[in-house]
Structure 1
Amino acid sequence: MNEPLLDVRDLVVRHGTVTAVDGVSFTLAAGETLALNGPSGCGKSSTAAAVLQLRRPDAGEVRFEGRELTSLTDRELRPLRPRMQPVFQDPYGSLSPRHRIRDAVAEPLKVQGRWTTAEGPARVAGLLDRVGLDPAYGDRRPHELSGGQCQRAGIARALASEPRLLVLDEPVSALDPSVRAGVLNLLADLQDELALGYLFICHDRAVVRHFADRVVELREGRVTSEWRPRSPGAALR
């Protein structure tokens, strides 16, 4: 039996005296979309932050590609971080307003030492094209793009690191319905092409039913149920 891409066991996250995540467990396979669904304040985003080790959990285990992350130092985590990338809710807030889109997409390549002046610009143009943006948009700044275009640029930036896992924290909730469908279809196509695992944080059950393969319901930081949509993984064509 293949090992899960992501294996979360008995996760606990506390914010002061408040337990935001209380014993949450789930697994995620490569090429699968697992949704965390529930109302605001149920622990979805705290779980996502702990999975990415942006916020160290107070207890529990997070295994990524078979490696337990919570016991690693920041230095030991550094080479693993490119393989698990976030895509955030606010398409404008996730990109620096001072930087052109091409520079935002190029930044991971430069930080990870994979940028060359000979090949880098073409790689950035290819990433923009892959997410459905004209590479000429690379000359623009975030405020010159629509919300959907900006979210596509954020996805291109995440793909620059060649990840195995994307943690999608309400990635379409700030978008208009017609734009939302296009971004979800893009994510579905990328998953088919790259066998990406998606941890999909979403409060909207209608979106979850169309997009997720499995759904974990959270209430007050605890798992209350797990279910499969009738048409799992169906993009909104």
Structure 2
Amino acid sequence: MTPLLDVRDLVVRYGTRQVVDRVSFTVGAGEAVGLVGPSGCGKSTTALAVLRLLQPAAGTVRFAGVDLTHLPERELRRLRPRFQPVFQDPHGALSPRRRIRDQIAEPLRVHGRWSRADGPARVDELMERVGLSPAHGLRLPHELSGGQCQRVVIARALATRPELLVLDEPTSALDPSLRAEILNLLMDLRASLRVGFLLISHDHAAVRHVSDRVLTMRDGRLIP
């Protein structure tokens, strides 16, 4: 069976420095794969290359059998709703001046999936799914806690019904109690939606709690 995500011999360089060195792994449909390692080991750079937010120097990234590595932007845009990011800093990921409802709806509008008839109900459904009430949708990000903002970011990532979430340190900006809440939310979402995860973190225990498989990275390489 073709993996949902298939990364082969990925190389990423910053100038003359090789940050990711021939990294290969797969993520199956509905599978959660953890990628752990110390700060600076290249795991976040790997995530950016997987999302095609950064161009690799060599290797391939295939999503659902399609090589994303040199895909023209117009064709890449058609695929982007199927794989979505969740980044580390929830406040930084949200516009400070826009209501929460509008930010959750944004991917639907950007990708031409917004409907006046169904869109508001879809936003309400997404908020409920991540543990927020419709009243939260009327607020601005500074009126929410860090944990609530991360729930908003997750809801927005789910808006287009993706098959894969690339989660880069999604709990590191939160205190321990909120980390547990978000990890439990991710486990519930994975079970109910059958969405695949590439979960990147320096927290081995958290990743093991959520993932089917855990890969370890050091100095730009995967190690046994």
TM-score range, shorter chain: over 0.9
Matches within 5 A, 1:139-158: 139-158=138-157
3-state SS, counterpart of residue 80 of structure 1: helix
Paired position in structure 2 for 1:184: 183
User: In the TM superposition, what is the alpha-carbon distance from 1:111 to its structure 2 partner?
Assistant: 1.1
The equivalences for 1:162-177 within 5 A come to 162-177=161-176
**TM-superposed deviation, 1:30:** 1.2
Which amino acid is 2:66 matched to? R
On the 8 A contact 1:37/1:218 being kept in 2, the answer is yes
CA distance in 2, matches of 1:137, 1:120: 17
In 2, distance between residues paired with 1:48 and 1:196?
17
Q: 1:52 & 1:156 partners in 2: Cα distance?
A: 18
SS of the aligned residue for 2:98 comes to coil
- The CA deviation string for residues 183-232 of structure 1, in whole angstroms up to 9 with x for no partner, is 1111111111111110000001121221221111111101112xxxxxxx
Partner of 2:51: 52
Q: Does 1:212 align with 2:211?
A: yes
Secondary structure at 1:102's aligned position in 2?
helix
What is the match of residue 161 of structure 1? 160
**2:17 corresponding residue in structure 1:** 18
Q: Highest relative contact order (Cα 8 Å, sep 6+), 1 or 2?
A: 2
- Deviation, 1:118, is 2.1
Map 1:35-114 → 2, pairs under 5 A: 35-114=34-113
Q: Compute the TM-score of the two structures, normalised by the length of structure 2.
A: 0.98
**What is the TM-score with the length of structure 1 in the denominator?**
0.93
1:27 is displaced (CA, Å) by: 0.6
RMSD: 0.8
Q: Do the aligned partners of 1:45 and 1:169 also contact (CA within 8 Å) in 2? A: yes
Per-residue Cα deviation, 1:21-43 (whole angstroms, up to 9, x for no partner): 00000011111111111000000
CA distance in structure 2 between the aligned counterparts of 1:187 and 1:208, rounded to whole angstroms: 11
In the alignment, is the contact (CA less than 8 A) between 1:131 and 1:155 conserved in 2?
A: yes
Unaligned runs of 5+ in 1: 226-237
Residue equivalent to 2:119: 120
Q: Gaps spanning 5+ residues in structure 2: where?
A: none
What code does the residue aligned with 1:23 have? Answer: R
Runs of 4+, deviation exceeding 4 Å = none
Given residue 18 of structure 1, which amino acid in structure 2 is its aligned partner? R
Which AA in structure 2 matches 1:54?
L
CA distance in 2, matches of 1:209, 1:79: 33
CA distance in 1, matches of 2:143, 2:41: 35
Report SS of the residue matched to 1:157: helix
Equivalent residues, number: 224
Distance of 1:167 and 1:114 partners within structure 2: 21
Give 1:120 deviation, angstroms: 1.3
Letter in 2 for 1:51: V
- C-alpha displacement of 1:9: 0.2
